């Protein structure tokens, strides 16, 4: 029986993602330097506040996060000032 999902040359691209783990204390990090533009999701590895620079308006936003929690946000930078999360994983 044929697959209900038609073959498409970009199908693997649509399902793919890139991520980078940033262990330890948050440092000022330019996420756009990864060459993929703003990230699309961030997952905290420990509870605390994570400060990011939001892509839409270039302002710093504080995200209160639980350990293992993910938030969908387009961010261009991780900001060390006021971040208390120890470690995160960033997805593009």
For the question of whether the overall pTM of this predicted structure is more than 0.85, the answer is no
pLDDT at 36: 81
User: Per the domain annotation, does 67 fall within a domain?
Assistant: yes
If one counts the domains in the chain, the total is 1
**Residue 1 falls inside a structural domain:** no
Q: Is residue 68 part of a domain?
A: yes
Per-residue model confidence (pLDDT) at position 51: 98
Within-domain flag for 2: no
54-92 as b/e: b if 16+ CB within 10 A: bbeeeeeeebebeeeeebebebbbbbeeebebbbbbbeb
Q: What is the CATH number of the domain that holds 43?
A: 2.60.120
Domain assignment present for residue 5? The answer is no
Per-residue pLDDT of the chain (92 residues; tens, 9 = 90+): 454 554 444 444 445 678 999 999 999 999 988 778 999 999 999 999 999 999 999 999 999 999 999 999 999 999 999 999 999 999 99
Cα–Cα dist 4/86, whole Å? 43
């Amino acid at each position: 029986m044929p697959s209900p999902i038609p073959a498409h040359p970009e199908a693997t691209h649509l399902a793919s993602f890139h991520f980078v783990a940033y262990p330890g204390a948050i440092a000022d990090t330019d996420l756009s330097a990864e060459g993929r533009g703003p990230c699309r999701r961030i997952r905290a590895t420990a509870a605390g506040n994570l400060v990011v620079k939001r892509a839409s308006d270039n302002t710093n936003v504080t995200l209160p996060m639980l350990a293992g929690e993910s938030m969908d946000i387009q961010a261009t930078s991780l900001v060390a000032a006021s971040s208390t999360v120890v470690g995160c994983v960033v997805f593009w």
